[in-house]
Chains A and B, each alone.
Chain A
Amino acid sequence: MENTIDRKKAARSAFIRSSAFQRMIIIAVLILLYGFFYIASPSFRKYTTLVQICSNMYYTLLMAIGVTFPLITGGNDLSMGTGLICYSLIGSYLMRICGWPLWAAIVITILMGVAMGAVNGFGVAKLNVPPFIMTLASMMFCRGIGSILTGGFSGTWPDGMEPGAGFRSVFRLVVRTDSGRMPIPLGMVWMILLVILMSLVLNKTRVGRYTIAIGSNREALKLSGVNVLKWHIFAYMICGLFTGLAAVTYAATFSNITPGQGAGFELNAIGAAIIGGTAMTGGSGSVFGTFLGVLLISLLQVGLPFVGLNADWQLLITGCILMGAVTIDKMRNSK
């Protein structure tokens, strides 16, 4: 009898400590926040707002999924934001100046990200440069390269009536209906598929398992005979791959790429991953949690102007939520 009560108690405290608990809190906050905006502002209720929330989050979400891996190893990647701009500028350069076809520009844009991830991973795993410093260096490097290459001018990707502009509809399909043009956030479908895929990668494959193990106890993993160097670099390459994907998505969404931009994008992504329960100290995190974190940040970004609060307020509130999430995380993990 006592035993069952004990077990229930233990189960309850185990649940509170589990990251599922933190995800449930975020879902509750999301629903409350959405409800609040919905009641407070009639114009928020429009379908187009929902589409806006979606298209706003694609590139942040991709970076956030990517950075979840280095974060779980106990690392970081600050080069994502300027990297994103740099890669899409290079893609634009290849198309506009070198006359490459669109598909080749897309491939190179993505590969640039993977390559930068490999460099970051090598610096961190092999040369033992602290992740913060290593990726800070790449962040500056990317920003410089982007500007040098374009001579400070903006780069453009196909838009409007141009040939190749159709690739934008991969993310935002516009269909004609009786009542006019209706946009469908098709990108959301890809995003959800990617979240599922990367959840599987994190939890069910060796790269995911070793990513967690590196963050948990790198030395123990090494003593177990695993090629730690390879898998550690791999975690950063995943981040690079997703930054490359984010660059393409960004290009599709905004068409016009300004050099010198992008610094700070990565902080939204890292913040989202942490709100989603990924620990900066490494060893734990989930792709689904990251997804929820991005949803929350995007909802605030889009929703707050509807109730008369500008971007500064959005930052302030996001900051508070970040603090709250980390505090809950700390409390969860303490006795």
Chain B
Amino acid sequence: MGEVILTMKGIDKSFPGVHALDHVDFDVRRGEVHALMGENGAGKSTLMKVLTGIYTKDSGTITFEGKEVEFHNPREAQQAGIVIVHQELNMMGHLTVAQNIFIGREPKHGLFINDRAMNTEARKLFAQLNIEIDPKETMSSLTVAKQQMCEIAKAISHDAKVIVFDEPTAALTDAEIDQLFVIIRDLRARGYGIVYISHRMDEIKRITDRVSVMRDGQYIGTLVTEECTKEDIIDMMVGRVIYEEPKTESRCAPDAPVVLKVEHLNAGRMVQDVSFELRRGEILGFAGLVGAGRTETARALFGADPKQSGDIWINGEKVSISSPKEAVEAGLSYLSEDRKRFGIVLKKNITENSTLATLKKYTKGVFIDKSAEEAVTQKYVDALKTKTPGIDQLVMNLSGGNQQKVVIAKWLVNDSQIMIFDEPTRGIDVGAKQEIYELMNQLAASGKSIIMISSELAEILRMSDRIIVMCEGRKTGEFGIAEATQEKIMAAATRDIDMQNRKNRQEGAAV
């Protein structure tokens, strides 16, 4: 490990209503891999966006190579020598590898671009990195891993000194991860400063020299990787905050009838062999980090995405659900995490939204039965205590919490028995959150069964009767609320993937 090359001190950044970064400190040395860890929303990405000029900081200083700097856009950061390898790769798929690497600074031969020189240069870069990629290959035909290597090559060709990897292994196979680590170690040996953002605990132990942890926009501390255990890191990530009124025992009778049973559900990479049961009147929490496959599981169950295999029983009867229409007919409803895209029609009023899924019931002949429609809407506006001047109010004029209530009303009108809430309180302020929680408890008490997907541990612990934890498309834990703790859930969510790797290898060998 060499001298410090980059120091961020007292970085502060607020967005309307959110204090995203609260005087955060962070530094990077030459020739080290420095992990940046934290739950979703802890502020890691925001910090890196401030570093590379995508966001401007409210206060604090950034010192790079001994000089105070301030970047106004990613280009300036890149020119200074700080490059991010994004999780979502920034590539032009129709162009070749070499064309991508040298975009914006093509070598020329008079008027024409000298592709030959470009390919030769690219080949040299790859030789330096010990990677075998044909510079003439079209970018979109490469695997994600190879595209990522091209980004690394591009970073090096820009003469980068600090390279930030944002969850680089999220879409890679084991063999590819091994190869990536060889490259990262090589870069470290050559004196690059590397920031490594990841959720995977085992990778942190394998590749990094130091670990810095963030929580709720604050810098918690830095540990030397060799000297700490996974448990130390998890402790720092979840903290010692006591959340208000977590549930201590299940409110659902242990012998309540099973209303939904899912067995061996498979749908792509993100849903692998998921099985679970849901009882009448139960709130089943789905915990895990973003990208663990929870939403994908819900969508596959709901028929919104195709599934490869899996059996579903509703009230003991085996059903086949291959479209949302069939799911709705079977009594399921899905309240998307992205309300504005999938949940409601913003520019329509409450009445029109409430009966959107059930318009057939409120149609007489060819005309919509306006009075019946309004009566049922008013009923649920009252029941859910939706705050609105009237039922003819456009939904876009309501607050997030009240919009969520309109979505709930829509499904109640439809008489859904099983409701899937995907991040039910996202974008909803604290007071309204409380109301949504109460509403969900009432729904459960009245005999509805609820699946609640949430990335907030506090929410999971507060609402669930039982908790299922997912990680990378698999179910990695199941706890009754009485035995669940933050630490247990976090451990399952960032689960050691060693065991899984072994399993993958065995499967690979079998094929």
Contact = CB atoms under 8 A, between A and B. Distances in A.
B111 A205 contact: yes
B290 interface: no
A206 B92 contact: no
Chain A CB within 10 A, most for which of B74, B95, B104: B104
Nearest to A219: B90
A169 interface: no
B113 A212 contact: no
B113 A283 contact: no
Interface string B73-85: 0110011000000
A209 B95 contact: yes
B140 to A, nearest CB: 9
A209 B113 contact: yes
A225 B75 contact: yes
A205 B115 CA distance: 10
B104 A204 contact: no
Contacts of A283: 92-94
Given A200-B112, A204-B112, A209 B93 contact: no
Given A224-B104, A225-B104, A216 B92 contact: yes
Contacts of B106: 206, 209
A205 B103 contact: no
A149 interface: no
Interface string A104-118: 000000000000000
Chain B CB within 10 A, most for which of A200, A205, A209: A209
Main secondary structure of the interface of A (DSSP, over half): helix
B141 interface: yes
Contact of A217 (B90, B112, B113, B141): B90
B99 interface: yes
B91 interface: yes
A206 B141 contact: no
Nearest to A208: B113
Interface residues of A, number: 20
A213 interface: yes
Interface in B63-117: 74-75, 78-79, 90-95, 99, 103-104, 106, 108, 111-113, 115
Contacts of B141: 14
A170 B94 CA distance: 38
A216 B93 contact: yes
Interface string A176-208: 000000000000000000000000100011100
Contacts of B95: 209, 212-213, 216
Contacts of A200: 112
Nearest to A209: B113
Interface in A215-255: 215-217, 219-221, 223-226
A144 B275 CA distance: 66
A205 B99 CA distance: 12
B74 A223 contact: yes
Contacts, number: 55
Contacts of A226: 103-104
A284 interface: yes
Interface in B310-341: none
Given A225-B75, A226-B104, A284 B112 contact: no
Contact of A220 (B90, B111, B112): B90
B146 to A, nearest CB: 15
B144 to A, nearest CB: 15
A6 to B, nearest CB: 15
Contact of A206 (B79, B90, B113): B113
Nearest to A284: B94
B237 to A, nearest CB: 31
A217 B91 CA distance: 7
Nearest to A14: B141
A192 to B, nearest CB: 20
A221 B103 contact: yes
A220 B74 contact: no
A205 B90 contact: no
Contacts of A14: 141
Interface in B95-153: 95, 99, 103-104, 106, 108, 111-113, 115, 141
Contacts of B93: 216-217, 283
Contacts of B90: 217, 219-220, 223
Contacts of B112: 200, 204-205
Nearest to B154: A224
Contact of B78 (A205, A206, A213, A225): A225
B103 A213 contact: yes
A283 B78 CA distance: 25
B13 to A, nearest CB: 21
Contacts of A220: 90-92, 103
A172 B104 CA distance: 43
B373 to A, nearest CB: 35
Chain A CB within 10 A, most for which of B75, B94, B111, B112: B94
B76 to A, nearest CB: 9
B113 A205 contact: yes
Nearest to B101: A224
Nearest to A17: B141
Nearest to A217: B92
A221 B92 contact: yes
A223 B75 contact: yes
B94 A216 contact: yes
A225 B103 CA distance: 9
A14 B134 CA distance: 15
A266 B90 CA distance: 34
Given A212-B95, A213-B95, A216-B94, A204 B74 contact: no
Contacts of B104: 221, 224-226
Nearest to A228: B104
A217 to B, nearest CB: 5
A215 B113 contact: no
A220 B154 CA distance: 13
A44 B380 CA distance: 74
A214 to B, nearest CB: 9
5 closest A-B pairs by CB? A283-B94, A216-B92, A220-B90, A216-B94, A226-B104
Given A14-B141, A209-B103, 13 more contacts: A205-B113, A212-B92, A216-B94, A217-B90, A217-B92, A217-B93, A219-B90, A221-B103, A221-B104, A223-B90, A225-B104, A283-B92, A283-B94
30 contacts: A14-B141, A204-B112, A204-B113, A204-B115, A205-B113, A206-B108, A209-B103, A209-B106, A209-B113, A212-B92, A212-B94, A213-B94, A213-B103, A215-B94, A216-B93, A216-B94, A217-B90, A219-B90, A220-B103, A223-B74, A223-B90, A224-B103, A224-B104, A225-B78, A225-B79, A225-B104, A226-B104, A283-B92, A283-B94, A284-B94
